[in-house]
Amino acid sequence: MKSLVTAAVIALVPPLNPDALQAAISDLEHPVVTSAQLRVSGSAGSWYGKAGAVARQDDRFRIGSVTKVFVATVVLQLVAERKVDLGTPIQHYLPGLLPPSLEPVTVGQLLNHTSGIPFEVGFPDLSTPDKVVAHRYDRWTPEQRVRLVPDTKAKFPPGTAQEYRGINYVLAALLIEKVTGHAYGHEVEARILCPLGLTRTYVPGLNETRIRGSHVRGYLDVPGRGLVDVSDYNTSMSYGEGDMISTTGDLTRFTSALFGGELLPPNLLSHLFTVPAVSMVDGGPARYSAGLQTATINGVTVWGKTGEQYGYNAGMFSTRDQQRRIAYSFTPTVSDGTQQQMTLRIVNAVTR
């Protein structure tokens, strides 16, 4: 595997512009969303705003792939405890689960998306909103998801390229469970949520469909039916890679603790801010580390994670020095690339 390179981080953070921040979330037509909220914090200033449907600051929402940051943190904690080795193939920990034709994939390659694991075959058709609604209560076990991986060779030799894949973190969650003897949600709660007081964050069970307590409601625009409330949804297909629920306040506290070294020792914390020296399969340099993704907007480099579930979009990012942290949530009614319009407005408003 090629050597790793760590990005130098020097934050050049401008003063907060409350009008620009509010404007970024107040355009509810591009994309069409029913609500939006943004929390900005850090040593360079704080701000909170919301738009659209009435929601309280501590209302829960689905965080989608932001889940991966929690899972990566637990795996790295297990590395610190010498219960897991980043250079050991996942097949050693989970024998017989992946197809025998697949090359050895290390734990580290799972975390930074350089595994090359081929796309699963046999997912239900979720190509239209009505099909999404029809499958909203489907229940999956993580083992069922992994068994959809075809018995073929990797898409590329593991460690030689990067491709963002949810299956990597389904396997990481199963690794946590094999090593600890507990559900990955139990470990997230014991190691992160309870110590940090993140009382509004949790991992739902495989049979759980409703969001506990007060929460932001998500909708899908279904042709012929209008807006359909999809807040009630079984996210077990996204086990370990996109099923968690949180708030902007809890995500902010988690980011602060994680970046501040409260959860990982320095030698393992560095893995969060190190991207492999490879290219993405679709071109361009790698942009994912162990759990995080990175981008430089208006000269400001941020690290964090975006996430989606039907009816929900969320994200948490921060400069490495925590001058500026952001946590956001909005509820798009269409599941397509237009969601990036809101995300781009937010990141531009906090960095410009």
**DSSP state string for 18-49:** HHHHHHHHH--BTTBEEEEEEEEESTT--EEE
Are the beta carbons of 289 and 171 closer than 8 angstroms?
A: no
Q: What is the mean pLDDT of residues 258-269?
A: 98
The answer on pLDDT for 11 being more than 90 is: no
Q: What is the mean pLDDT of residues 165-192?
A: 98
The answer on pLDDT for 170 being more than 80 is: yes
Q: How far is CA 150 from CA 141, 147, 192, 315, in A?
A: 17, 8, 34, 31
Q: What is the pTM of this model?
A: 0.96
pLDDT of residue 104: 98
pLDDT, mean over the chain: 95
Give 281's pLDDT tier (boundaries 50, 70, 90). Answer: very high
Instruction: State yes or no: cis peptide before 31, omega within 30 of 0.
Output: yes
Through-space distance between the first and last CA atoms of the chain, rounded to whole angstroms: 37
How many residues comprise the chain?
Answer: 352
pLDDT, one tens digit per residue, over 206-237 is 999 999 999 999 999 999 999 999 999 999 99
pLDDT, one tens digit per residue, over 36-51 is 999 999 999 999 999 9
Q: What is the mean pLDDT of residues 13-23?
A: 97
pLDDT of residue 54: 76
Q: What is the mean pLDDT of residues 93-97?
A: 97
Residue type for position 342:
M
The angle formed by the CA atoms of residues 230, 233 and 238, to the nearest 5 degrees, is 125
Residue carrying the six token digits 């694991």: 117
Domains of the chain, start order: 4-351 (3.40.710.10)
Burial of 91-101, coded b for 16+ CB within 10 Å and e otherwise, reads: bebbeebbeee
